[in-house]
Amino acid sequence: MSFANSVRLFQTLVMSFHSAIVIETVEEERVRTLINTAINELQMAVFEWSVAQGLTRSQGNCQNRWTNEYAPPGSQKPQALEQTSEPVEALKHIAELQFQAIYWLKDLGPHLEDEVVRRQLREVIQQFSQNRSTLVITGHSITLPPDIAQDVVYFDLKLPEPDELYQAISEVVRSLKGRISVEIKPEGINELVQAMRGMTLQQARKVIAFAALDDGKLTEEDVKRVLQRKVQVLHEEGLLDYIPPEMNPAQLGGFNGLKQWLKRARVGFSAQAKAFNLPAPRGILIVGIQGCGKSLAAKTIAREWQMPLLKLDAGRLYDKFIGESEKNFRRAVTLAETMSPAILWIDEIEKSMGQSDSDADGGLSRRLFGYFLTWLQEKSGDVFVVATANDLSRIPPELLRKGRFDEIFFVDLPDETERAGILQIHLMRRRQDPRRFQLAELVQATDGFSGAEIEQMIITSLYRAIYEQRPVDTELIINEVKSTVPLSISRREDLHTLRTMAQERFVSVK
């Protein structure tokens, strides 16, 4: 949704007697812009409250008669109304005002633990439902009591769209005029805008200013710096890990069946597919044996399609407070849609949304699973989901039926051809010439080994070669292989059960 559409939606909510609007965001600058843009047509005053400054009448709108229009910009700050710093007193004062206005309450959520504040807020909401005044409550994460939640509407202020990010770049360039030179072409600006998607406006301004001031110029090379900072920002926020195509070196041996399917599915994102009103591909589920390349497949899809890879770590979703885990998941998928087209990788999906033998989590897994299914069917952005799973017994049957994903693939242990490819990839990655080794012997020796186990054999062989001060050779690797018990032996029964189920239901990646 564009910012202009957000403004229109906000105006509609105010005019339709929605007396309380909740916006979960830390971008107070954009909230202020949203409100001030909306009131230009609504002809309403705006008040702001925070526990730090109390209740003040905002400057810069057409109904504010308390502003000295002849004063220099920034020379006057609005004076707080007396005795309004405490939330109860501020709400009482708001209730006594006799004209229509928008009252912006910042970080009110934590104060709602006080029963007096809750009751006073409820009375103001009920009063405003009759006179078209509106409370706007903002904060990072807002949990409302049930008796208040039914009377409010949540407003989804999404992260900045490309037009806002382009404006942010323009503002930074203007502010640094004379200190930097702009040497970037129009297509480079578009790449910068795309690289900043998923950031707040403040984050976007800071990263652009840093990139420009670091060498005194804004060039196409700064796209890489923006992407590097974006990786850090998303990791610090804790819900998604971000890997841009430029930083994704994944290589996948074998999986020819999956690769052919992906080539056909890729056209679903083309302009021709959209011209035929065809939906973009939803995603795939990859099930199989641990260490056989499911995670690597997700990375390879992103690299081949030249899309950013967003990894959703299920462990980061969970929060000790009721309702927060679901909010974390909504924020994660909303962020993924903001950065579309993108690949969303949900690793070991059965651990976060799988069936549980007990209700120890209070039904959280089931709720997350239900929300995920709804989002998967109705998502608006070009987000291709790659979910991986090891334990089929914990996957809800609703997820395995046809239609949830575009396809479900099964990954078995690598065959001879695939093991040869895997060996060559990992030998070359460790700067070893595959021609120096007897690949046929290594392929035979690693029968029953997964791709991850083969990689580890090469790593441990190199460690041993360094320790013994000798070159690594075929014999050394084979000795390491013989001293290892692969999963195909240690978990033979589980593997047999998985293969039997997969052969009946799923498509092989080979």
Q: Which residue has the tokens 């804790």?
A: 238
What fold, for 416-490? Helicase, Ruva Protein; domain 3 (1.10.8)
Calpha distance 455→461 (Å, rounded): 10
Q: Where in the chain is the domain with CATH 1.10.8?
A: 162-237, 416-490
SS3 content of the chain, % helix, strand, coil (to 5): 50, 15, 35
CA angle 148, 151, 152 (to 5 degrees): 95
Q: Which residue has the tokens 């009721």?
A: 322
Give DSSP secondary structure letters for 148-159.
HHTT-EE---PS
Q: Where in the chain is the domain with CATH 3.40.50.300?
A: 3-154, 256-411
Mind listing the pLDDT tens digit of every residue in the chain (510 residues)? 678 889 999 999 999 989 999 999 989 999 999 999 998 888 889 999 999 999 998 865 444 444 444 444 444 567 788 889 999 999 999 999 877 899 999 999 999 999 999 999 999 999 998 888 999 999 988 888 888 988 999 998 888 988 899 999 999 999 998 899 988 888 889 989 988 988 889 999 999 999 899 889 999 888 888 888 888 888 777 778 888 887 777 777 678 888 899 999 988 888 898 888 888 888 999 988 888 888 888 898 998 898 889 998 766 676 645 567 777 888 888 888 888 889 999 988 887 776 655 455 557 777 888 888 888 888 877 899 999 988 877 888 888 877 788 999 988 888 898 899 899 999 999 999 999 999 999 999 999 999 889 999 999 999 999 999 999 999 999 999 999 999 888 888 888 888 887 777 788 887
**Is residue 57 classed as helix, strand or coil in its secondary structure?**
strand
CATH number for the segment(s) 162-237: 1.10.8
Asked whether the beta carbons of 368 and 326 are under 8 A apart, the reply is yes
Calpha distance 496→489 (Å, rounded): 11
Nearest to 247 by CA among 232, 230, 228, 220: 228
DSSP-derived secondary structure letter, 402: T
Multiple choice CATH, 3-154, 3.30.565.10, 3.20.20.60, 3.40.50.300, 3.30.710.10: 3.40.50.300
Which pTM does this prediction carry? 0.74
Calpha distance 78→364 (Å, rounded): 46
Calpha distance 374→367 (Å, rounded): 11
Q: Which homologous superfamily is 256-411 in?
A: P-loop containing nucleotide triphosphate hydrolases (3.40.50.300)
Calpha distance 456→467 (Å, rounded): 16
Q: Is the dihedral of CA 208, 209, 215, 218 positive or negative?
A: positive
Calpha distance 302→29 (Å, rounded): 34
DSSP-derived secondary structure letter, 110: G
The H or E element that residue 50 is part of is strand 45-50
Within 8 A by CB and 6+ apart from 190, the residues are none
